[in-house]
Structure 1
Amino acid sequence: MHRVILLLLLFYHCQNSDDLYYSVSEANALLYKTFTAKDLGCSYAHEIPILMVVGDSRKDEVDKCVDAITIKDCASWKVNDPTPSECKSISYRLNF
Structure 2
Amino acid sequence: MTIRPSPVVALNRAIAVAQHEGPERGLEEIAAIEGRDRLAAYPFYFAALGELELRRGQRDAAAQHFRAALALARNAMERRFFEQRLEACGEAAP
Both proteins in one fold, TM over 0.5: no
Q: From the CA coordinates, give the structure whose radius of gyration is larger.
A: 1
> TM-score interval w.r.t. the shorter chain?
under 0.3
More helix by share: 2
Higher strand share: 1
Point out which structure has higher relative CO (alpha carbons under 8 A, 6+ apart). 1
Structure-2-length-normalised TM-score: 0.27
TM-score by length of 1: 0.27
